[in-house]
Amino acid sequence: MTSDARRDDYLRALGLADWQYRADGPLGGARARPGKALEPGMTGSNEAAAVVAAGDEQTVAAPEREVAAPAPASLAREPEADAAPAPTPDADTGPAGLDWDGLEAYLARQDHRGASRPVFGIGARDAEVLIVGEAPGASEDAQGVPFVGRAGKLLDRMLAAIDCSRATNVYITNICKFRPPDNRDPTPDEVAADWPILERQIDLMAPRLVVAVGRVAAQTLLACQTPLGKLRGRLHRYPRRDLDVLVTYHPAFLLRSPQQKSKAWADLKMIARHIRSFER
């Protein structure tokens, strides 16, 4: 399918088929960096239609629900000539310093908290754009790949509308790497347990933009309790990193509340404009 056809397909899904797209307009795809590295098995997707449960995107989290504040970013170090060998994946040393494979192996050794398998992430590991969701659902738990259920299919169409895809120029992961039982929101302990993995993924990837998909991802990444409706539509800074963050609705929410899709389209155009600004 051509990118025009994909965009039309998405706009039709949004009920916005008559929206105009200008080739020289704000929309445009993120470029993968030269020598991009794709995740093994990243083309995997299925037709499973499990709708992932997600809280009302507009709802403020209950006051008692603390969100783990981001830990300080690890400092990137130049390898030294006589440096000791890179740390091996070892539950005792933590994820700092691990490479992609080491980090994935490290995650696999963590407590699965009742999930079938870890869901590490998928996409172009050196893309400029990192998409962060909340946590795996049933389909993701079955396949070990983020966003492969019905919500994932919509996410792929949203990305395709701005010429982005997991196959070429974005990396996709979640705040939590293991499916919370019954698709409930992750607990603060679960967020805290997986936080160092996400931080190390960001170290390794060094994205220029993080897109937080949904309330849980947005509030966790930005270490705030602001409702999603107030976070979207403006650029944020990632706490303690020189990194931009944009926020949009979770596709599972859009499946339940299709009337919000025009706002999601506005978010996508802002994301596309920001990506294009990298080129200047």
Residues at the contact surface with ligand URA, assessed by CB under 6 A? 52, 133-137, 140, 146-147, 151-152, 174, 214
Count of Cβ atoms closer than 10 Å to residue 18 Cβ: 7
The least distance separating ligand URA from the CB of residue 171, rounded to whole angstroms, comes to: 13
List the structure tokens of 76: 């990137």
d(CA 8, CA 40): 30
Q: Tell me the closest approach of the beta carbon of residue 160 to ligand URA, in angstroms.
A: 17
Place of tokens 């599972």: 252
Give the residue closest to ligand URA by C-beta: 133
Minimum distance, C-beta of residue 275 to ligand URA, in the bound complex (Å): 21
Q: Helix (H, G, I), strand (E, B), or coil: what is residue 233?
A: coil
Taken in order 256, 259, 263, 266, is the CA torsion positive or negative? positive
Shortest Å distance, C-beta 168 to ligand URA: 19
List CB contacts of 236: < 8 A, sequence separation 6 or more.
222, 244, 245, 246, 247
Q: Which is nearer to ligand URA, 70 or 152 (CB)?
A: 152
CA–CA dist 73, 214 (Å, integer): 23
For residues 240 and 257, what is the distance between their CA atoms, to the nearest angstrom? 34
Nearer to ligand URA, 134 or 203 (CB): 134
Minimum Å gap between C-beta 125 and ligand URA is 17
CA distance 30 to 205: 15
Say if strands 236-237 and 244-248 run parallel, antiparallel, or are unpaired.
Answer: antiparallel
Q: Which is nearer to ligand URA, 95 or 214 (CB)?
A: 214
Q: How far apart are the first and last CA of the chain?
A: 29
> Which tokens go with 236?
């944020």
Minimum CB–partner distance for residue 101 and ligand URA (Å): 21
Cβ partners under 8 Å of residue 13, min gap 6 = 154, 157, 261
Q: C-beta of 52: minimal distance to ligand URA in Å?
A: 4
How far, in Å, CA of 226 to CA of 228, rounded?
Answer: 6
**Distance in Å, CB of 159 to ligand URA, minimum:** 14
CA gap 83, 85 in Å, rounded: 6
Packed helices 100-108 and 188-205: angle between N→C axes, nearest 10 degrees: 160
